[in-house]
Amino acid sequence: MDTPAAEVDVDAELVERLVRSQHPDLAGPLTLVAHGWDNVLFRLGSDLSVRLPRRQIAADLVAKEQRWLPELADRVSVGIPGPVRIGVPGEGYPWHWTIGPWFEGQAAADMPPSERAPIAADLASFLAELHVPAPASVPANPVRGVPLSVRADAVEKRLDSGAVPRAEELRRLWKELSATAPWAGPALWVHGDLHAANIVIDTGDGNGSARLAAVIDFGDLTSGDPATDLAVAWMVFEADARADFRAHVDRLSGVDDHTWKRAHAWALCLGTALAAHSDDNPRMAAMGTHALKQVLAGD
């Protein structure tokens, strides 16, 4: 299955018109960076980015980012894409869009998994800062931060689709992990989409000095079970780095075994989604392959 189709064709010409008409003082060279499932990302000049929804569903997510990211930016110590300017519909484009900061570095998705290990402690610290009780007014997300039972039908359908390798092994593991006790604590802030394409790494001098530069794409931001985000242990890392990440998380946040089991299940859920919906996107497909390999490898 392929990436969801765009509902609006977003190209550099359109983005240039939007920027010049609404924020002419920021106009500059544009470079296409990524076409994601929901958004198109351009680099604007040397230190800004432009992010535009390509589907109606994503337009609602961008509005949520514009509302909440300025508040979260005061809470976390790594870069997040709070809006520098807000764009409105125009030039034939129907939705709100965002000019944000550009973060120097490399997406974890574009690095070998073995080279991501140095950011384990940084990522644990980011999640310790993020995972605190959220205001009741934070929008609910029907597919993130929710009990695993809510995602069971979707997981089973993907496993039945023929698009996911080792489906029967994954089915048995899902049955085991999804029976874990649900989250009983307060609804915590949850990024909701913490995978390798949304983690920016400053690679330093290449001698193990890499650090976490930014976490991007908060479109799935919500509140609920932090296990959704802790799935990053399998989504991004290999075994040794995963153990390091878990040790740091446990030291900072005191995560219990039930939460880690739910996180393992969330990695399976998200990995099957990537595996089943990325036939036309090798980068996302590789992320799914990595996640499911690590999920089957165990803790």
Which pLDDT tens digit goes with each residue over 119-155? 999 999 999 999 999 999 999 999 999 999 999 999 9
* Residue in the structure block whose two tokens are 């690095």: 111
Confidence at residue 3, expressed as pLDDT on a 0 to 100 scale: 72
Both structure tokens of 107: 């997406």
What is the reported pTM?
A: 0.94
Task: Look at residue 215 and tell me whether its pLDDT is greater than 60.
Answer: yes
Q: Are 217 and 193 within 8 A, CB to CB?
A: yes
Please name the residues in contact with 45: beta carbons below 8 A apart, sequence gap of 6 or more.
Answer: 26, 28, 29, 102
Both structure tokens of 173: 């593991």
Predicted confidence band of residue 2 (pLDDT cuts 50, 70, 90)? low
Residue 194: other Cβ atoms inside 10 A: 27
Domains of the chain in sequence order: 12-101 (3.30.200.20), 106-297 (3.90.1200.10)
